[in-house]
Amino acid sequence: MPGFSLRWFTEFFNSVMWTLSMKNSFIIAFATTILATALGTLAALGLTMANFPFKGMVTGIMIMPMVVPIVISAVGIYFFYAWIGLTGTYTGMILAHTALATPFVVITVTATLQGFNRNQIRAGSSLGASPPTVFFKITLPQILPGVISGALFAFVTSFDEVVVALFIAGSEQYTLPRQMFAGIREKYNPTIAAVATMMIVVSVLLLVTVELLRRRSEKLRGITQ
């Protein structure tokens, strides 16, 4: 078996299919990250309120995509999208990945909010600040490490996802994992090894960033010295 070669990276960047799939992966992952972070942060803020009704049931529904086997979710998404005409579209891919990524944001931000003193919110409101002002000036700066960590998890979830893409992605929406799967099925190409290397490097860098943010969040909350 031939050894690892930098020529495989050259073939990757010279291939229209591979470069398109890389572009699709980043576009879909970035859009998913924005939506999942916004929705997950709002959901976490609501779920951590003391008077939130049916908190347990809502939390269970929110994290269900993490519990249900991904192939079952993919089949359900496919039939629903086929009914409303979202199969083979970027919108469909982004919304599907958002549904899968949002629970990670909810869990991460909720964990960060456990150490947040809500008396600061009451103090800001009592001084006449509007809810958006209180959020952006008081709440967000203190939970920002958790929000960024959740966003990174959402990005990785979308960037590495392949099962849903197998069901609903059209030829124009092929992501890197989807293109790798197609390449393995049709004919093994050494370029796949180069792509896998790049994806591993991206994932490791993001996870290292998450760990650094976690430690910073603990220091801000006084857990570590």
The reply to whether 48 falls in a domain is: yes
Rounded CA-CA distance 3/138 in Å is 54
The predicted-structure confidence for 56-97, as pLDDT tens digits, reads as follows: 888 888 888 888 889 999 999 999 999 998 898 999 999 999
Rounded CA-CA distance 69/57 in Å is 19
CATH of the domain at 29: 1.10.3720.10
Q: How many domains does the chain have?
A: 1
Rounded CA-CA distance 127/133 in Å is 11
DSSP H or E stretch at residue 209: helix 191-220
Q: How confident is the model at residue 36 (pLDDT cuts 50, 70, 90)?
A: very high
Range of the domain at 147: 15-220
Lowest-confidence pick of 40-54, 75-89, 102-116, 117-131: 117-131
pLDDT of 29: 93
* DSSP annotation of 19: H
The reply to whether 166 falls in a domain is: yes
Output the furthest CA–CA distance in the chain (Å, rounded). 71
pLDDT of 1: 44
pLDDT of 37: 95
The reply to whether 6 falls in a domain is: no
Report which of 150, 151, 160 is spatially closest to residue 203, judged by C-alpha positions.
Answer: 160
Helix 55-62 × helix 90-113 angle, to 10°: 130
The reply to whether 162 falls in a domain is: yes
Rounded CA-CA distance 57/68 in Å is 16
Report which of 181, 26, 169, 182 is spatially closest to residue 90, judged by C-alpha positions.
Answer: 169
The reply to whether 42 falls in a domain is: yes
pTM score, whole prediction = 0.82
What secondary structure does DSSP assign to 39-99, as a single string?
HHHHHHHHHTSTT-TTHHHHHHHHTHHHHS-HHHHHHHHHHHHHHHT-TTSHHHHHHHHHH
The identity of residue 222, as a single letter, is G
**119 pLDDT higher than 70:** yes
Higher local confidence (pLDDT), 206 or 69: 69
pLDDT of 78: 93
pLDDT of 9: 64
Residue 156: how many other CB atoms lie within 10 Å = 20
The reply to whether 47 falls in a domain is: yes
Q: How confident is the model at residue 204 (pLDDT cuts 50, 70, 90)?
A: confident
The predicted-structure confidence for 134-162, as pLDDT tens digits, reads as follows: 888 888 888 888 898 899 889 989 988 98
Rounded CA-CA distance 108/95 in Å is 20
Q: What torsion do the CA atoms of 124, 130, 131, 136 make, to the nearest 10 degrees?
A: -80
The reply to whether 2 falls in a domain is: no
pLDDT of 225: 40
The reply to whether 7 falls in a domain is: no
Higher local confidence (pLDDT), 113 or 39: 39
**98 pLDDT higher than 90:** yes
Higher local confidence (pLDDT), 151 or 190: 151
Residue 23: how many other CB atoms lie within 10 Å = 12
**27 pLDDT higher than 70:** yes
